[in-house]
Amino acid sequence: MSILREFIEKPASKPDEREAESALMKQSSKPPESKAGQKKRILVLDDDPTFGELLMRYKNKYSVDIEFFENVHQFVQRLSEEAFDVVILDYYLEGYVGSQLTSLMPGIPIILTSNRNWQEHDSAMLPKGSRFLLKKLGPDTILKEALALASAKTSTAA
């Protein structure tokens, strides 16, 4: 059974199980590459549905596909099924800290977001090619940055 499958099928953990779960997540494999010539695909995990609704308002403006999840397990399931160009991930999630999930996404640029100030976060937790942005910058700016990261990854891969 794959590492992602084990994570998906495992019920939500208790606080004392989070360390073991975090170690499990660090062993995950890279998802398949997205296909060239398609719209950029953005996968979003945030426990605030309003933030998701705000991002969705900009999907036509930037001609992107956005999939929004509030549930960690559904997000991880979707991540294991298809390739995405960039992920927007909330830092504070119920039962998780967003940085615990970054190891499930090797090679995928990540925008880690929060309503709290950057100084509260450890910059070492972000994978190379990823960024931290405050939500108060707004969905327009966050999507622009996400697309810039996805484009930078595409141009370095070419």
User: What CATH code is assigned to 3-157?
Assistant: 3.40.50.2300
Q: Are 135 and 112 in contact (CB under 8 A)?
A: no
DSSP 36: T
For the cut 90, the answer to whether the pLDDT of residue 142 exceeds it is: yes
| Burial label, 23 (beta-carbon count in 10 A; 0-12, 13-18, 19+) | exposed
Domain boundaries, the chain: 3-157
Helix 49-56 and helix 139-157: axis angle, to 10°? 70
CB atoms within 10 A of CB 38: 10
**Token digits for 18?**
């989070």
pLDDT in tens, 59-111: 999 999 999 999 988 999 999 999 999 999 998 887 777 777 787 788 899 99
Alpha helices in the chain (DSSP H): 3-9, 18-25, 49-56, 72-81, 139-157
The per-residue pLDDT for 158 is 52
With bands split at pLDDT 50, 70 and 90, how would you rate the model's confidence at 15? very low
Most distant CA pair in the chain, distance: 44
The per-residue pLDDT for 51 is 94
pLDDT in tens, 114-125: 888 755 555 666
